[in-house]
Amino acid sequence: MKLNGIFPPLPCSFDNNENLALDKMCDNITKLSQFDLTGFLVLGSNGELVNLSDKEKQEVFEATREAIPADKIMLAGTGCQSTRETIHLTNAAAKSGADAVLVLNPSYYRGLMTKEALTGHYFAVADASPLPVIVYNMPANSGLDMNADTIVEISAHQNIIGMKDSGGNIVKMGDIRNRVKPEFQILAGSAGFLLPALSIGAIGGILALANIAPKQCIKIYKDYMAGDLQKARETQHKMIAVNAAITSKWGVPALKEAMDHIGLYGGVARKPILSIKQEIKKQLVEILSENNIRSLEK
């Protein structure tokens, strides 16, 4: 499976009572599908996977699979704290029609998550999975930053096809690229370092920013692939502040607010995540306007 290109990690849509609003989520998919995206990630970190029940996860997988066009890849987030539960959710994603799974490493018992434990976990999931597996390294959320040696060892499994790295350590990413099998695919986990990641061998990105600025994310990727580094650099520079606002600075509720602002459905996040305050909304809108992100237009 070729993962080259840009994937938005879809936020999970809730109504004002925090119940699933699957029709809104599917509407977002339809609107975003007008862009040349490679596919969509469902129930990643921005999808609030950890805030959903098992039944809700299954409902989201099934509804979004119907909404995602057949020519676009559906990635499903299935990382849980136990190997057993991860395999269970991975099989559920497969039954729903997902094309591959993205598996965040277990981290609650991080002191016990040795290279041996993590490799054993990923190998067991990959052995049991009917779908290709993508490793997900997200230290800001998991509190555990898997090192290069661990990822290289995990990458040896034939059913593990790549990784999404949201840590932003380009040196480590380059080291991994140099040591893994040629067909192992690396995806940038943030638009803030998309261009640097491409320059050391990443083949695309799973980017929160692609939910509100798909055109710009795709442009960075395509300009780089076409050899126009200057154009890619110019767009990359413009997107850094916007990306930070909806990720490391204010997170999921800011991303949802930005989606509302441009004509998609954002809505609320599930508590304990709180909506951003009015003064933050004002700052967010200013950042979006300064970078010409006012509506979802091709």
Using only C-alpha atoms, the chain has a radius of gyration, in whole angstroms, of 18
Angle at 96 (CA atoms; ends 92, 102), nearest 5 degrees = 65
Confidence bin at 120 (pLDDT 50/70/90): very high
Give the number of other Cβ atoms within 10 Å of residue 273's Cβ: 13
Confidence bin at 165 (pLDDT 50/70/90): very high
User: What residues have CB less than 8 Å from 61, skipping those under 6 apart?
Assistant: 42, 43, 76, 92, 93, 96, 97, 98
pLDDT of 296 higher than 90: no
pLDDT of 297 higher than 80: no
Percent of the chain scored above 70 by pLDDT? 100
Report whether the peptide linkage leading into residue 11 is cis, meaning its omega lies within 30 degrees of zero. no
Tokens of 101: 């799974």
Give pLDDT, residue 269.
98
Domains and CATH numbers, the chain: 5-230 (3.20.20.70)
Dist. CA 243–CA 288, nearest whole Å: 10
164 is catalytic: yes
Give pLDDT, residue 116.
98
Dist. CA 48–CA 70, nearest whole Å: 24
DSSP symbols for 244-288: HIIIIITHHHHHHHHHHHHTS---PPPTTSPPPPHHHHHHHHHHH
What mean pLDDT is reported for the chain?
97
> Could you report the per-residue pLDDT of 194-218, keeping only the tens digit for each?
999 999 999 999 999 999 999 999 9
> With the C-alpha atoms ordered 220, 43, 297, 212, is the resulting torsion angle positive or negative?
negative
* Catalytic pick among 57, 164, 172, 219: 164
